[in-house]
Amino acid sequence: MARAWGLLLAIGVVLPTWLSSTKVSSLIERISDPKDLKKLLRTRNNVLVLYSESEVAAESHLKLLSTVAQAVKGQGTICWVDCGDAESRKLCKKMKVDLSPKDKKIELFHYHDGAFHMQYDRAVTLKSIVAFLKDPKGPPLWEEDPGAKDVVHIDSEKDFRRLLKREEKPLLMMFYAPWCSMCKRIMPHFQKAATQVRGHIVLAGMNVYPSEFENIKEEYNVRGYPTICYFEKGRFLFPYENYGSTAEDIVEWLKNPLPPQPQVPETPWADEGGSVYHLTDEDFDQFVKEHSSVLVMFHAPWCGHCKKMKPEFESAAEVLHGDAESSGVLAAVDATVNEALAGRFHISAFPTLKYFKNGEQQAVPALRTKKKFIEWMQNPEAPPPPEPTWEEQQTTVLHLVGDNFRDTLKKKKHTLVMFYAPWCPHCKKVIPHFTATADAFKEDRKIACAAVDCVKDKNQDLCQQEAVKAYPTFHYYHYGKLVEKYESDRTELGFTSFIRTLREGDLKRLEKRREEL
């Protein structure tokens, strides 16, 4: 028998795939025909292809990619092309894969929406490849930054608890979210400080944004990102709050760690004097009636943007106050104290400007400088009409309210619902992706993408009943029944992959039922 196999090999007979010595996961698609790859790229929008010089060269990568394929099942596709196989050489040449250099045995190419996206150039590790496939256009993981080699990167609550238990040296832990701009600004300083204090103090980082870390966020009062906590011998002592720090600031503080000092209360703006009128819930209406042109700044004492605008606003008020021909005045309202006014004018961000002409509110453009304030008050012009709200736009997203929420969902087999607030920046960022997802499935009557504005009075009780505690929150419903909270990528790719997985599951169940019949 052995001689027979030897004869077959000697005369160049190609052995079938099932005789290959390389074990390949059923989740990895082996392709050799250009037409098959073209068809796959046309039907899958997130594909990572391993091109190898030979089976032997691919072996270690295939073991890793098998685990990756399991982790991204329903969100991404892994393929393998053996360029050493006679049948596949044409495909590799067509896809412009060059494995001729002696040191180049494999290539990883990523394709997005049917087209080449990029050559994979990040760390070839399970965590890095999975993160890439879940968000191909997102930033690399923090630990992939060569400068972050001295930061201890924690992935799980178990590893975090183990670190606290075993670490004898002082520990500075940054709880962060990958999308957080403040985190991104401080990370280079944090990792530089980690290198400077290496061997004496441990600096660590942990992405606690996923819902699985709610216990840690609650325990260490993580209410925003980053939250940096200082530990000694596993015991939390106090937070580090100087988020504008340089590496030198962090190292200097670690020489003598002290809890945050209580801040001296600031003098309320209303008590400082000046030419800005400070209005309250009680006198606001009467004031705007008595003054024909009033620009009002709603502010909060803690708001950094308000503090930056305040001297510009005050200087403009002084100029207008001395202008005999101008009847315009500038006024301010502390929205944290005058809650009735804040609620009445739907103030949800600071600073917010409102303009009143003869007692009637009118639209006002974005103004931030002394010059712009004065120009506007001297010649108020009607700005272009405000952009339509998401609900007012013509899209295929279903906008629901408490009255029709249940009845509408019961009519749809699969509904992904986005609970949001119009003022929420993260919601604004994701709206185009969610809208595009709704458009992608508009022909399927069983599938819907719906939205609920939790700020509306009619929806506040509904959002509370659905346990919505942050914006945006995504829930998946099956014929009106809540099945799970969507925790994956907030991108069109993430949403569509999730819904396609649901639809593919329906098809598999239908095929199984037909087989049984």
- Which is catalytic among the residues 79, 306, 454, 463? 306
Count of other CB atoms within 10 angstroms of residue 503: 15
Catalytic residue at 449?
no
Would you call 79 a catalytic residue per the annotation? no
Tokens coding 40: 């796959």
Output the 3-class SS for 267-300. CCHHHCCCCCEECCCCCHHHHHHHCCEEEEEEEC
H or E element: which one contains 125?
A: none
Give the Cα-Cα-Cα angle 337, 341, 342 (nearest 5 degrees).
70
Q: Is 368 helix (H, G, I), strand (E, B) or coil?
A: coil
Q: Are 24 and 63 in contact (CB under 8 A)?
A: no
> Pairing mode, if any, of strands 352-357 and 398-400?
unpaired
The catalytically annotated residue of 79, 83, 92, 183 is 183
Partners of 447 in beta bridges = 414
E-state strands within 194-334: 202-207, 227-232, 235-240, 277-278, 293-299, 328-334
**CB-based contacts of 243: which residues, under 8 Å, 6+ apart?**
182, 186, 226, 228
DSSP per position, 142-182: GGGSGGGTTSEEE-SHHHHHHHHHH--S-EEEEEE-TT-HH
- Asked if 92 is an active-site residue, the reply is no
Structure tokens at 32: 């050799």
Task: Give yes or no for a contact between 421 and 348, defined as CB atoms under 8 angstroms apart.
Answer: yes
The residue whose two tokens read 């019949």 is: 517
241: Cβ–Cβ under 8 A, 6 or more apart, which residues?
228, 260
Rounded to whole angstroms, how far apart are CA atoms 496 and 486? 12
Tell whether the torsion through CA atoms of 456, 459, 465 and 469 is positive or negative.
Answer: negative
Query: Which regions of 380-469 does DSSP assign to beta strands (E)?
Result: 398-400, 414-420, 447-453
**Helix, strand, coil share (%) of the chain residues, nearest 5:** 40, 20, 40
Q: How far apart are CA 400 and CA 410, in angstroms?
A: 13
Is 424 catalytic? The answer is no
Active-site residues, by number, are: 180, 183, 303, 306
